[in-house]
Structure 1
Amino acid sequence: MKRVLLTLFILTAYLGFGQDAEEPVEEGEITATVVNAQNGFPMVSVHVINLNKVVGTITGQKGKFTIPAAVNDTLYLTFLGYKSEKVRVTSDMFKFQETEIALTELAYALEEVIVRPYQLTGYLEIDVKNLPISNNAYQYSISGLSKSYEGGSKSPSAVTKVLGAILNPADLLRNLFGKKPKQMRKLQQMKQDDDIRDLLASKFDRETLTELLQLEKVDIEDILNNCNYSRSFINTANDLQILDAISSCYEEYRVLNRR
């Protein structure tokens, strides 16, 4: 009887030790490899962003990356010419460090492009005068105020828009940012991560911004419109410039809200 009890005790202790040893890791760093879905070759310089922790990194020479993460975090992978992917972090990704993530190359249908030369001479002083100039991004400044305001086109309505925002900015910005406080707090984290800033500086599609801020493109445009940025700026700025513009407007809101 004693021998049976001793055997049961040893078996129970062994099973308990095994369960502790195999208990899944919930948070830490994960390492994975990004490959081309067509040929399986590792991909270098792919941007990887943890959307939950708002940290980024890029893949190395062998396509590998390491990034802080927790179970159920979402990784966002993007590379020029490839379809962006979102990957949910699982406990197996901590247990097995050989996870492969495949990116698929995009197929673009090229359209005919008509190039109209500007008859450049090669002399900078002369060619600058011959290039077309956009007149859609006028800025208005008011004596006594430290900043200028973009009003879009040169028209009376543009001036009215600027004055309206200056005279009653608290209500305007509260409506914009009060509904998305969590997403807006990510702005500072995004601005402090060099990898994310480098990625945004090279992009113009607002795709990464919408994923990070959990906003639609139309929401981003509404914010910039109501913060007195011109249509020309909204259409031509890269994603980093858009981020800085939203951040500047948000900081103004925070100051006004404290008052």
Structure 2
Amino acid sequence: MWKNNYLFPVFLFCCSLLSGQSYFNFQLEGQTRFEGKGVPDVHIMNITAGEATISDQNGRFTISVTMGDTLLFSAVQYQRKSLVISTSILESSFVYVTLEEFVNELDEVVVRPYNLTGDLIRDMNGMKTEQVVTASTLGLPNAYVKPLMQSERLLKEASMGPFQIGMLTAVPFNPLINMITGRTKMLKKRVARDKKYLLTEQVRNYYPDSIFVKRLGIPAERIDDFMYYCEVDEKFDSIVATDDHIAILNLLRLKSKTYRENNQLE
């Protein structure tokens, strides 16, 4: 009886090591963000373990953590933020850390000769500035026009219709020739393919390679092939259009399972 009481806790401890071994010296990946964009050069310190790292140009970082560790995030122009490592964070293996802008409020002072008070909002409202000259402020017709891709420009050129020359209407032969030869149809397919490629690249840049390799089980050399496999899914465009990173990652997780099965990667 004594042996059973002694061995049972040891057995539970060993099981916890086997089932939760990822909670020890876990490499946590994440991204520091502000207003939806990655923040580079953020100092991330594990004040519990005494380790530190710095976010890259896209705001991404990797740091070793264990359950209960406290991470401290600090950067110029942003408020310090702490994060306690919980079970949900370890299970997600990737975390987005949203930073808040640091506003240094000064005591009211008067600075001559501009009569500045030190209150940025009050001073900005009281300052007279010249209007910024841009295409939009000038009201130019093409101010908000999105630049066309090369394939879109070629398609537009190949499909140009009649145009006026004085009192006469000229009908160019290029659109007719392009339609007969199939060039217009080919360019339409190229435009659709280019738009799909840009959408796929957008998703590809949301996550580091380690997410595909570690969480989705996709070998690094097959990530591009996997993304092509995902983009042919009819749900891909609508889910990506939401810009919901969690929903997109869930779609990738579902697609990764069938991709691994189809390619014998299990």
Q: Which has the higher contact order (CA 8 A, sep 6+)?
A: 1
Q: For the superposition of Structure 1 and Structure 2, which TM-score range results when normalised by the shorter chain?
A: 0.3 to 0.5
Tell me the TM-score normalized by structure 2. Answer: 0.32
**Which of structures 1 and 2 has the bigger CA Rg?**
2
Compute the TM-score of the two structures, normalised by the length of structure 1. 0.33
